[in-house]
Amino acid sequence: MGAFPPAPVAQKLLARVAALALGGVLLHGLARFAYKGILYLRSPYSRDYGEGFVLTIVQFLDERGNYFMNMREYPFVHLNYPPVFPLLVWPFHHWLGPTLAVPRLLSLMATGGIVAVVYGLVRRLEGNRPFALAMAGIALCPWFLQTWAPLARVDMLAVFFSLFGLLAFVSGARLWAVFALFWLGFFTKQNALLAPAAVLLSLLSTSPWRRFVKAALGFTVPLALLFGGLTAATGGEAHRHLVTYTAAAHFDFSRLTEGYVELARVAWPLLGVIALAAVRHPRALASGPKAVMGIYWILNAFALVTIAKEGALHNYVIEPWLATVILAAIAMPPALDGLARGDLARVAALLVAALAAHYTKNWAHEVPRAIHRPHDQGYARLWDAVRDTEGPILSENLAALVVNGKPVLVEPFGLLSLSRAGLLRTRKVVRDCEAGRFRLVVLESLFERVPSLNECLVSRYRVVEEVPPYRLLRPMSAAEEP
């Protein structure tokens, strides 16, 4: 019996070992994130998971002062992001020329801001600095967050404004300041409405109805006026692009559970903590300023079905994941209270959560070849082909066009989805294809799914080179045509 330390001493020893292991996992997550950020910032190429989309917006903003096209004539582009992110990038585009580095850096900075806000929220709601630091580190761990964080996309900035608004609310800031952050979130990505909805629902349940009505009007009326002003300034096109055209994307109902499965894989320890707290101390999650985070999490859980929308990827899991991290931080003390002495239960729970968050689908942390090996001849060849081509180009990689100073004539996903919905006619594009007007076609899969365009590409164009995952097509000569 004397060979074993007393139980309290053993628990302290185990807690220290678990804390060291937790620190190692979190440092690995941070190092991985930093390494990916460096790789993306140094690469001049893009696999174009929406990055070329943002560059196209900035290019039109610089050339025309407006990027909401009427799509009755070239360019046929459905650019469905509001103007905050492009406006932040535009001065650098005007000064430096088209570059992927600036919007990628902005997205990385927004991700750093998200981690800081998660820390601030947990610190404000729980008051334990090391615990808040650990939860912020766990927030950074999953593959999908680290995949989208360094991309030249609007997702991370929109989430940052939403979480920053929640931090301002629970910190007691005036509602106009809270709502200003939410307005910025909406005009970064128009579906960033869950955080303001959580705040308004929280006020509905805790405040006199007059205050709720005043707050609801204080948020919605200025937002409607700002959106109305944007719509009027663009001749109604902003509404068509951001609402009508975006709503035209169809749902793939076979994917309805996809987001929930991915979130459960990564967050199951945190979801277990939330469930345990809900059973043991349900009022701990529904009282005071903590209640708004519970509402926010519930709204995100319902909204996750939108991952089934055409074009949606695992970036739709990011905000539900962060909502889960924050709610689990609130739930952990009441959930684990009395289950073990000292910090052992909490540190063990944090370690398991970090391991699940960071190493689930570990292979998905790999970065595309265009980023990991920027001097590989594949993407260099694609960039060279685009740069050296004289005349109109039809490309599914929009970044290759913008970075090389070529005009964007057609946005492939918009052409596909809007033609399916009957909101865009493909006749002019097909007619120009049949005439051999496009001197180069960079093809992956989207143009092939537009029946009339695919028929033309098959009969009038030939593959001259393959740059996986793209094929480079050029017009056939008269002798080659069938």
- What's the pLDDT score for residue 1? 45
**Whether residue 138 has pLDDT greater than 80:** yes
Contact 82, 186 (CB under 8 A): yes
pLDDT above 50 for 387:
yes
- Contact criterion met (CB below 8 Å) for 157 and 188: yes
Residue, of 223 and 1, whose pLDDT is higher: 223
pLDDT tier at 75, thresholds 50, 70, 90: very high
250 confidence band (pLDDT: 50, 70, 90): confident
Q: What average pLDDT does the segment 261-272 reach?
A: 97
pLDDT in tens, 328-371: 999 998 888 776 655 788 899 999 999 999 999 999 999 888 88
pLDDT at 96 over 50: yes
Tell me the residue type at 335: A
Which pTM was predicted? 0.94
* pLDDT (mean) for 439-464: 95
pLDDT of 482 strictly over 60 = no
State the pLDDT confidence band at 478, using cuts at 50, 70 and 90. Answer: low
Mean pLDDT taken over the chain: 92
Q: What is the pLDDT of residue 126?
A: 84
Q: What are phi and psi of 251, to 5 degrees?
A: -100, 140
Is the pLDDT confidence value at 385 over 50? Answer: yes
Q: What is the pLDDT of residues 152-173, one digit of tens each?
A: 999 999 999 999 999 999 999 9
Tokens of 21: 């292991």
